[in-house]
A = this chain, B = another copy of it.
Amino acid sequence: MITPKKIVEELEPYVPGRSIEEIASEYGVDPDKVVKLGSNENPMGPSPKAVEAIKENLNLINQYPESNLDGLVKKIAEYAGVSSSNVITGGDGADEILDVLGKTFIEPGDEFIVPLPSYMYYEFTLNIHGGVPVFARWDMEKNTLDVDSVIKALSPKTKLIFLCTPNNPTGGLIDKKDIKTVLESTDALVIVDEAYFEFSGVNNVELLESHDNLFILRTFSKVMGLAGMRIGYGISNPQIISYMYRMKPVFSLTKLSQIAASATLDDKDYIKRSTELSVKSRDFLYSEMSKFDNLKVYESKSNYILVGTRKTGMKARKLTEELMKKGFIVRDCTSFRALDEYWIRVSVGTIEEDKKFIEALKDIIG
């Protein structure tokens, strides 16, 4: 029989957050009562305008999506404050954009730099294209990038550098001057992952004009409330964008996803309220969790909070299990490279959900 590529057997599978259906059936909990604080979704639910727009177009799902995404691209460009020629959008959230980066730039043996801990999907996706990960360091004390570690990791083989800000799962920001330092130290493409930028109030779009090796990665899965619809986008100079469009799958964004993304961008009020709720909820969760003297709680600029559980004596696996039994899903971070077995990531819920979660936490480790 045909043998697969070598990487197929070497690759560590990506471990996704777990779904309500899985947990409910495994722990015998009522699915309607499960609170999901595991995947950094929008606790408000989707924009009602997106839901309405989908409903109006359901009779069209037998037709292929538009391959011409100009309309959506224009709206994204307006939202981001750039030109349409700076934008690429596609299906599968930001994950497809990552895959297209691999398809466009990575040949077997090329290197990509990832500070640790960070989003694990970079490594999963780029490995498939034969990329070799080179790890830099996230400064856990200061909860920011150790920029020197990135500079030291550079080599002539470096093709892509990933800077996640706010960083998943630690929640800290990367200083703009550190991003500039990286941009100016290399010709490699610097992917600034702004999946969660709305919750931080800062972004790095202004650096586009002066740096043609900047690529900003974003998603509709967080504040836009469309994780289930799988829409992502990237912002860079028109040359990079046009290279990538040549390699992108033609029809990967579903018809309903296009419609939902467009309608959500039109719903400014929803975006504003979603951001405000998550920020308020984050600050509440931070303050409440900080009261546990056996938890190490990281300050976050995003819609999740990283929590160290070592002092509770409970590994993340055990604690997440106890929480699941009470109907709460949080992210066990054991599969995150450079974190040990004592870390969980808690996504913000509604304030009501947060309160119930804190009660459950008290029962288990209080």
Q: Which residues of B are found within 8 Å of A243, using beta-carbon distances? A: 4, 8
Chain B residues contacting A64 (CB-CB under 8 Å) are 16-17, 19, 39, 41, 221, 227-228
Question: CB distance A250 to B59 under 8 Å?
Answer: no
Any B CB within 8 A of the CB of A218: no
User: Closest CB-CB distance, A178 to chain B, in whole Å?
Assistant: 20
Cβ of A246: which chain B residues have Cβ within 8 Å of it?
8, 11, 13
- Of B187, B189, B250, B254, the residue contacting A228 (CB under 8 A) is B254
Which residues of B lie under 8 Å from residue A189 when comparing CB positions?
2
Query: B residues within 8 A CB of A66?
Result: 19, 21-22
Does A291 have its Cβ within 8 Å of any Cβ on chain B? no
Chain A residues 66-94 with CB under 8 Å of chain B are 66-68, 91-93
Asked if B249 contacts A105 (CB within 8 A), the reply is no
B61 near A260 (CB under 8 angstroms)?
Answer: yes
Stretch at the interface among A48-56, A136-144, A164-172, A334-342: A48-56
In the bound complex, residues from chain B placing their C-beta under 8 Å from that of A255 are 228-229
Q: How far is the CA of A65 from the CA of B89 in the complex (A)?
A: 19
What sequence of 0s and 1s flags, for each residue 17-56 of chain A, a beta carbon within 8 Å of any chain B beta carbon? 1011110000000000000100101101110001100110
Bound-complex Cα distance A60 to B45 (A): 7
Q: How far is the CA of A17 from the CA of B63 in the complex (A)?
A: 11
CB atoms of B249 and A229 under 8 A apart = no
Q: Which of A22, A68, A92 has the most CB of B within 10 A?
A: A92
Residue in chain B with minimal CB distance to A61: B228
Given known contacts A64-B221, A66-B19, is B95 in contact with A239 (CB within 8 Å)? Answer: no
How many chain copies? Answer: 2
**Contact with A59, one of B16, B17, B46, B257 (Cβ below 8 angstroms):** B46
A226 near B: Cβ within 8 Å?
yes
Contacts of A225 in B (CB 8 A): 61-62
Chain B's closest residue to A243 (CB) is: B4
Distance, CA A122 to CA B62, complexed state (A): 22
Of the four ranges (under 10, 10 to 19, 20 to 34, 35 or more), the interface on chain A belongs to 35 or more
> Does A177 interact with chain B (Cβ within 8 Å)?
no
Residues of B within 8 A of A221 (CB): 64
Q: Determine if A5 is an interface residue (Cβ-Cβ < 8 Å).
A: yes
Q: List 26 A-B contacts (CB under 8 A).
A: A1-B213, A1-B237, A2-B189, A8-B246, A16-B250, A16-B251, A19-B66, A19-B67, A21-B66, A22-B66, A39-B63, A39-B64, A41-B63, A55-B55, A61-B227, A63-B227, A63-B228, A64-B227, A92-B249, A95-B249, A103-B128, A108-B108, A128-B247, A229-B254, A252-B252, A254-B257
4 interchain residue pairs of minimum CB distance: A228-B255, A61-B228, A62-B225, A92-B252
